[in-house]
A and B are shown apart, each in its own frame.
Chain A
Amino acid sequence: MSEEKTHVVSIKTHLLVLFTLIVLTAITVLITSIELGPYNTAAAMIIASAKALVVLLYFMHLRFDEPIYRIMFGLVIAIFAAVIVVTFFDYLYR
């Protein structure tokens, strides 16, 4: 075991991250209760992605682990994004 390589995230950090996530959730609920037209869904999705990123980086330790995990994750998201783009091109311009 390479003890020195293990990054210990403090409990305080975790609590701060949790607080951020709950605030972001409250913002999503508030933002979708006001009329913003097509921007409502966009705002909800952007905030959801921000929350997901926070969970991945801090709770799932991606920020502190070796780069290989971030690279693998990036590739999977890129594949998924490509599938979304191709599907919607099909539906929009069929």
Chain B
Amino acid sequence: METTLSPSVDLHRDDTASKIGMWLFIFTEILLFGGLFLVYSVYRYRNPVAFHLAHQELSVTMGFINTVILLISSATVAIAITAIQKHNKKLTMMMLGATLLLALAFMVNKYFEWGAKFDHGLYPGSELMAGLGHGDMLFFSLYFFMTGLHGVHIIIGMTLLTITLVKVKKGSVNPGKYALLENSGLYWHLVDLIWIFLFPLFYLIH
């Protein structure tokens, strides 16, 4: 009955399975946002003029800056994975830190963007919203709900990346075991992926 192996040696680990699990979760997220995009398409198809007029309230510059911020942050996460594969712990941590800063910049932009609308009395449940035409109300409800849900995903992504950064620092995420970094990276790219569609659909209606 005596065993010389320490319990940790027997710990089961399957990186492929964990990555497939992450992808399965990402699929549920794609279908969640996909459903919302579908709702958006149908309402836009039924209220083309209202959607066109309402979208002019949004700043293309702000949206463009936020798009570029998210694209860069996706690249930094991707580079962090390359760095850990190349046994460069310092670069991995730097890239994760950069991603977190960029994510914060995105949220600050969002704060000012939403804040300006709130100041004008435009927020879900406000009197101004209730007085809007049917199409405009749908546009802004979808705008607040979809960018809001996306913002929640940014916060979750930031939490995941922070945990990963701490674990990289401690060494429990290392060049031989970095599934957590890969999976949080995948989640972060998903956030970027959703924004790639949100930006043209809300800011660039012609």
Contact = CB atoms under 8 A, between A and B. Distances in A.
A45 B38 contact: no
Contacts of A58: 78
Interface in B147-182: 176
Interface residues of A, number: 46
Interface of B is mostly: helix
A10 B75 CA distance: 12
Given A32-B200, A60-B189, A18 B72 contact: yes
A51 B204 contact: no
A73 B23 CA distance: 8
Interface in A51-85: 51-52, 55-56, 58-60, 66, 68-69, 72-73, 76, 79-80, 83-84
A36 B205 CA distance: 12
Contact of A44 (B68, B74, B77, B204): B204
Contacts of B47: none
A40 B206 contact: yes
B75 A80 contact: no
B93 to A, nearest CB: 15
Which of B19, B75, B81, B82 has the most A CB atoms < 10 Å from its CB?
B75
Contacts of A79: 31
B60 interface: yes
Interface of B: 15-16, 19-20, 23-24, 27, 30-31, 34, 38, 41-42, 45-46, 60, 64, 67-68, 71-72, 74-75, 77-79, 81-83, 85-86, 176, 185-186, 189, 192-193, 196-197, 199-201, 204-206
Interface of A: 1, 6, 8-11, 14-15, 17-18, 21-22, 25-26, 28-29, 32-33, 35-36, 40-41, 44-45, 47-48, 51-52, 55-56, 58-60, 66, 68-69, 72-73, 76, 79-80, 83-84, 87-88, 91
11 contacts: A8-B85, A11-B79, A25-B67, A52-B197, A56-B193, A60-B186, A72-B20, A76-B27, A88-B42, A88-B45, A91-B42
